[in-house]
Every structure is written in C-alpha cells, then in structure tokens.
Amino acid sequence: MEFEVTKNYSLLRDDEKKLWDQCIFTFDSSALLNIYKFTEDTKGNIIKSIFKKNAKRLWIPSQVKLEFLRNREVVLRKIVSDKYEKMTKIDGIKENIEDIGNKIRSFDNNIKNAGTHPIINTGITQELKDNLDKFKESYIKFNNDRDLEIKERVLEVNDILNNDNLLEAINDFFLTGEGFSFDEKMAFLKEGEYRSKYQIPPGYKDYTNNKKVGIQKIGDLIIWKEIIRHANDHKKPIVLVIDDLNKNDWCYVNKKNKRIEKPREELLIEIHEKAGVSFWMYSLDSFIYNSNSLLDNKLTEKSVEEIKETLVQKRITKESFKAEEWYELDEIEILENSDSFQQTHDAIRLLSRCNHFTEDEINRILDAFLENNQVKWIATDDDVSEFLLYHLGSFIEYNRQEIDIYLQEKYDYVCRECIPLDEGDYPF
C-alpha cells in the first residue's frame, strides 16, 4: 500500500480503508485480556463476528501469546475479587429498618392509654407496620437473591479457566509468531537499554520499571521486533490493537477523550524503513467500532454499547491515568479557534482519528464550519470535505436513532452551505 509515512504521519479515511483491506491484524495481550471483562454474549459476538470471520488475517507475536497465557488466570481471578467479592450488602438498610420500627413502636406507646390525651386511633400505624414488614421480607429476599446471583456469576467466571472460548478462539483463529532465541533476546536487552536512555519507542518505560525483571523489561520491544519481522516476511501493513494506554511509549493519547491519536512517529519510520509497510494502532473499542464499517462486521448494538461502557468510560474516569497530553487544546477547540488554513488542516487530521462524537461535539464542529472562515473557506479541500461528508456523516448516519433530528438537519445544511455539489452527489 502506498503510504508516505516519512512525509505524512496522519491517516485519512481513504487511506484507512486501503489499510484495513490489505493489513494483518495483531493484538497485544492487554487488548485480548480485556475481552474477558465483557459478558458472555458480547465476548461470543466478538469471537463470531470478528475473529472467526477474519481468521486468515489475524496474527499475534509469540511474546503476546506468552503474556496472555501468563496473565489470563490473574485477570479472571481479579474479576471475581474486584467485581463480586467486594459487592457487600447495601449499607444502612437493616439499621434503618430497625430504627423505623423502633420509632413506630414509640409512637404506639404514646397513644395506647385510652381516655387520656393524646386521643388518637391506635390502628393508625397498622398499615405502616404492615408495609414495613413487607419491606423487611423483600430485603431478606433481595439479599438471598443477590447472594445466589453472585455465587452463580463467580462459578461462571471460574469455569472459564477450564472452558475458555476466548482461548479456544485465539488458538483456532490466530496464527502465532515463532518468537526469538535466547541469544537474540539477550541482544534486545542491550538495545532496550539504549532505547530507554534516549526514549525511543516502544516500551522504553518498562526498562526502568522496577516491578519488571529480566526479559519482562523488554517485552514490548520483543513484540515490536516480531511485528517488524512478520511484516517484512509478508510485505503487508500492520494494524496493532492495544489497550495499555497508560504510557506514551507506543502512541499519542488524547488526555481528554482517551483515544489513540496516532502511533509514535519513530515506529512509523522504523517499520517503513525495515519492512517497507505501513503501520497503525487502535484501542480495542476503536478497533471494534471501526470493524463494523471497514470490515462489514455485524456486532450487535448492545455489544458495541457494552464495550464502550466497559472500556471507554473506565479510561475517562480513571484518576490514575498518566498519559502525556499531545497538545494543550482538544481537537474541536483547535478547529473553533483556528486562525490559519494550516491549523484547520491539523485539526481536521486529529478529528479524523476520532471514532465517537457527542451531540455537543457535533454541534461545535458544525458551528466552526459556519462561523470560522479559516474553516469554511477551505471546506472543499479534500481532507476537510472528506471529514465532513464521510467521517462525521457516517457517524451521524450510523447513530441516526440517537441523534436529535434538529442536529441532523443542521448537518445537512452545513454540508450544502460549505460544499456546493449537485444534489445527487451528497452521500446523504
């Protein structure tokens, strides 16, 4: 695939389609292990709709397989310990029931002396006491049902260790690399020290991680070396799906929306020089979202939503996220405040890497096209028109059920206002 990686570090939608049509898909262990966090329905959906359907194009380095096997039991045990064993009773309900009961009895005691004030019907609290008794019974039933549910889910998770459809899918549908000899890995250790000293990706932060010892310090470098060798052997571009976004020694991550913006330039250059191919990266949720259109996979909307909630929201709300921000402004803010055509092109390049937009974000983008002449005046440039008509347009079309009709009409108006075409040439 023609892709001048040393001159253009972005990936436009047309190039992305060509890349996906020709590439080999590979995964790191973090992306594969995160699939365990989904429900069985969604996990099965991924296996059937993506892995099985694209089996001839899936490959993982030997090091990834090793790390997956080493950590799968840890991940499954952690699901049990973090998600179920820590699921305690709802605090305070039992105590509140007892407190309410005591207050009702106290009220009854105050009105039980017949013929003296206060003269109040002694049956006035009966309905309240009956309802409290019913609630106590419901609460006991809830606790029993909850404990039973937790027990069943824990058994299901533990059973995966012996009946693992994800492991079977990896064995059945993924080819695995041959790995490297011990002597080769020793040479990589020396290279890893040099890369760490000068912060050359990938994985240079692992080299100074005191929690990792020996070969573990160069795990990412071994993966990278094997990717380059495989790419060179097969002369096909590589798409890497990775979910370890807590460090920036593989890619640039937008700190606000936690999306991969692009791989580090050093990686693009290295694989292009050594294997003559292109390379790009996606997080697991972005890969799955894009696969529905670029690979014509048919994941259910329920599965896509679950994946977004499980992975994206976790990354956005995780307080320990330490990824270095690539730039100070978010991509829409750059577009809104653009004071040059070049800055507009830069903002469009960033926005073209985004796979999800809120209604507020869509509205801001459309306003930028209408109100900022540095955007409007070059709306017919190839990259700008492609983003508006096809990238943003395909997102709106795919999510038409959820997006406000006013916003859809505004989008149509902006397209016709900024990009004059014959009526039949618009994609909507």
48-63 per-position pLDDT tens digit: 999 999 998 999 999 9
Please give the pLDDT value at position 316. 45
Q: Is the peptide bond before 263 cis (omega within 30 degrees of 0)?
A: no
252-269 per-position pLDDT tens digit: 887 666 678 889 999 999
Tokens standing for residue 240 = 């890497």
Give the span between the Cα atoms of 181 and 190, in whole angstroms: 15
Give the burial class of 249: count Cβ atoms within 10 A of its Cβ; 0-12 exposed, 13-18 middle, 19 or more buried. buried
Mean pLDDT in residue range 86-99: 76
Please give the pLDDT value at position 324. 31
Give the span between the Cα atoms of 343 and 97, in whole angstroms: 62
Residue 42: pLDDT band (50, 70, 90) is very high
φ/ψ of 8, rounded to 5, equals -135, 110
Please give the pLDDT value at position 279. 94
Please give the pLDDT value at position 89. 65
Higher pLDDT residue, 128 or 327? 128
217-262 per-position pLDDT tens digit: 899 999 999 999 999 999 999 999 998 876 678 988 876 666 788 8
Q: Is the pLDDT of residue 47 over 90?
A: yes
Unique residue bearing structure tokens 């096909």? 236
Angle at 110 between CA 107 and CA 112, to 5 degrees: 105
Residue 9: pLDDT band (50, 70, 90) is low
Q: Is the pLDDT of residue 187 over 90?
A: yes
Residue 156: pLDDT band (50, 70, 90) is confident
Give the span between the Cα atoms of 35 and 47, in whole angstroms: 10
Residues near 321 by beta carbon (within 8 Å), at least 6 away in sequence: 245, 246, 255, 258, 315
Please give the pLDDT value at position 88. 64
Q: Is the peptide bond before 118 cis (omega within 30 degrees of 0)?
A: yes
Higher pLDDT residue, 80 or 28? 28
Residue 314: pLDDT band (50, 70, 90) is low
Residues near 415 by beta carbon (within 8 Å), at least 6 away in sequence: 388, 389, 393, 426, 428
For the chain, the structural domain boundaries read 1-326, 331-425
Mean pLDDT in residue range 266-294: 91
